[in-house]
Homo-oligomer: A and B are copies of this chain.
């Protein structure tokens, strides 16, 4: 996969929280810790008290949730600039997700205790943090909407496009960068592995994608987009509009 340059930390990317003025950056680094994780290493677990900010500087991090039966649901693949995790002032609260490095990943951990002072020194950065959290909120809400309102095929199509975009502009023939297993794809759209496989096969038959094992090619992004939006199969319009 393509490597994103990362001089210093948080830094590099074009993410909202990333491009901090040098002075602020220095200050951030002094108050926080930077940790390097290896692939498959757990960064934090669901249920942990949310007492620090976690900022992804480099690499890809999987945000997921488990139920008691061991089934997982992947909420998001977070890249540089993403503010993963949650922050509460009440230690009885717990985080709703676990985080695990997918690639080698650098994460900046900023303890809650030093946050108020830091924000006082750099109020605009406080704003950026709010915006970064807000972005996560928006992502999570869209995910919920898709799960509630769209069919599985639409969700898969949308996912593939999204994964494509994460690796640059999507053009016909675009290859996905990170090569996920069918199981991971399934956990990202909330279906069983078998269903994900069948849906992929269906998309191949329709000529929207091609795949050879884990290597997936978006042969017809427009078609994918229509499937993602339109819910081409089943589920059609209904009366219920709001007056």
Contact = CB atoms under 8 A, between A and B. Distances in A.
Interface residues of A, number: 62
A71 B112 CA distance: 40
B138 A96 contact: yes
A115 to B, nearest CB: 6
A242 B70 contact: yes
Contact of A120 (B70, B120, B140, B235): B120
Given A117-B123, A120-B123, A144-B147, A237 B69 contact: yes
Contacts of A88: 131, 134-135, 138
B129 A130 contact: yes
A93 B138 contact: yes
A179 interface: no
Nearest to A115: B127
Contact of A145 (B96, B115, B134): B96
Interface of A: 16, 50, 65-73, 75, 86-90, 93, 95-97, 112, 115-117, 119-120, 123-124, 126-131, 133-138, 140-145, 147-150, 183, 190, 229, 235-242
